[in-house]
Amino acid sequence: MSGPVSKLCHGLVVHRRYRPKLHALRYRIFSLLIDLDEAAALSARLKLFSFNRPNLFSIHEKDHGDAGEESLKDVIVNKVHAMDPRAKVTRVVMLCFPRVLGYVFNPLTVYYCYCADEQLRSIVYEVNNTFGDRHHYVLPVAMPQNGALAQSCSKKMYVSPFNAVEGEYEFHVSPPGKKLSVGVNLRVDGAPVLKAYLSAQPQTLSDRALLQAFTCMPAMTFKVIAAIHWEALLLWLKGLPIARRPKRRPPLNPIPIKNKSNP
């Protein structure tokens, strides 16, 4: 992995619900692919992006991880090491929405964790809900670096009022390259409940590219949270039953997972 890794990614998000009633949505987004080792240098080089400081675009470590005193990279590396003591992660690349004009909500942040030999060793999926809960699913990687990856784990956190804390997540990932994609399927008792898919095209991260993204989608991060509540209203109007949120919050520590790879 030579040269700058950090990119601006323009993409499309698609959601499909299969039961108890059909529902679908799609919208265009942009996100940042940031090598955490490059974040400070990017903040110094770019006028429109800052790391841990306010700007038109910014990423703040306190929006992610465990919001403690450790650096975000250390938090993720420690989570991987807790699951796999043999993993020697040296590089962490995160895919997330940035703050735009100081605001962001990230339903999902993905951390690609690489070893010194530049092989992808683990992926950490950081899931947030609108109630302030956060959970990390730490999944080891056993595949050729450029291959398609399929992973699964049990759902452990309440996310949507229309889905109980049950079932299994299936993740389908194409690691960052000329293109990247992240798919998340939820199955309950083996039957598909919903699918979410992001397909994105990485491009050079520059002030010009950031300004163009802002010009095209100035309220993108506000649109994300607005769309979540709007789609929830539509589902409620369709008569979907409400699954109550458990009173006890889940732990933030990683959970055991299963791993599957597609050659």
pLDDT in tens, 110-155: 999 999 999 999 999 999 999 999 999 999 997 655 567 999 999 9
pLDDT at residue 100 tops 90: yes
Instruction: Return phi, psi of residue 16, to 5°.
Output: -135, 125
- Does position 255 have pLDDT exceeding 50, yes or no? no
Please report which confidence band the pLDDT of residue 75 belongs to, taking 50, 70 and 90 as the band edges. very high
213: left (phi over 0), alpha (psi -120 to 50) or beta: alpha
From CA 210, how far away is CA 42, in angstroms rounded? 13
- How many Cβ atoms from other residues are within 10 Å of residue 206's Cβ? 14
Give the model's pLDDT for residue 3: 52
Token code pair at residue 167: 């079932």
Stated as kind and residue range, the H or E segment containing 12 is strand 7-17
24-33, 44-53, 99-108, 134-143: which has the minimum mean pLDDT?
134-143
